[in-house]
Amino acid sequence: MRWGSSALALAAVLFSTHVYADPLQKSEDIVKFFAGQGNLGASRGICVGTEEECKSKAEKNEAPPQKAGLDMMINFALDSAQLDQTARTELDEFAKALKDNRLSTFSFVVEGHTDATGTDRYNQDLSQRRAQSVAAFLEANGVESARLEAIGLGKSHPRVANPYDPVNRRVEMRIRTE
């Protein structure tokens, strides 16, 4: 009975370690997400029919707005800009995606965020350090620095309503649209 319990406990530990080692998002999924985000500018077309018919056709063909950013679930401990192993695993996949030819023309904004703990100035600085930490990791893994812009947004854009929730301590990636 003791051996059975020990084996079960060991299996649970090994299984849980394996689950946490896998990235949440694979590089191919990241490429597909951003490849569909490129803004090619306003389109023009010709509509034959009455003004009402053309307006109706245009409304039907409008695509729902897409998310411009991808939350890579890069979270941080309180008062820290250090990347943990989970963050490094996720960022390895992101670096692979950015080196893919389908994303080679895109530049990205790396947005750092904080929760509401601390002063506005401190949170601004901390969020900037978080964004720079992620950008430095990506650069060290082969992403050209010219394609990355690290910015800190402090506590101004929380992910969840509770401004003190640890989930708000994060970094998000967006396509640079300028």
> Phi and psi dihedrals of 165, rounded to 5?
-65, 135
Give, in words, the CATH class of 72-177. alpha beta
Distances (CA, A) of 17 to 13, 26, 86: 6, 18, 11
Residues in the chain: 178
Q: So what's the pLDDT on residue 60?
A: 53
Q: What is the pLDDT along the chain (178 residues), one digit of tens a residue?
A: 444 433 333 333 333 333 344 556 788 888 888 887 544 444 445 555 566 765 665 555 554 444 556 766 789 999 999 999 989 999 999 999 999 999 989 999 999 999 999 999 999 999 999 999 999 999 999 999 999 999 999 999 999 999 999 999 999 988 887 6
The C-alpha atoms of residue 129 and residue 123 are separated, in whole angstroms, by 10
Question: Does this model's pTM top 0.85?
Answer: no
Q: So what's the pLDDT on residue 49?
A: 55
Name the amino acid, one letter, at 132: Q
Which residues share a beta bridge with 74? 171
Distances (CA, A) of 38 to 30, 32, 51, 63, 91: 13, 11, 30, 14, 21
Instruction: Give me the sheet containing 108-112, strands edge to edge.
Output: 69-75, 170-175, 108-112, 148-152
Domain ranges of the chain: 72-177
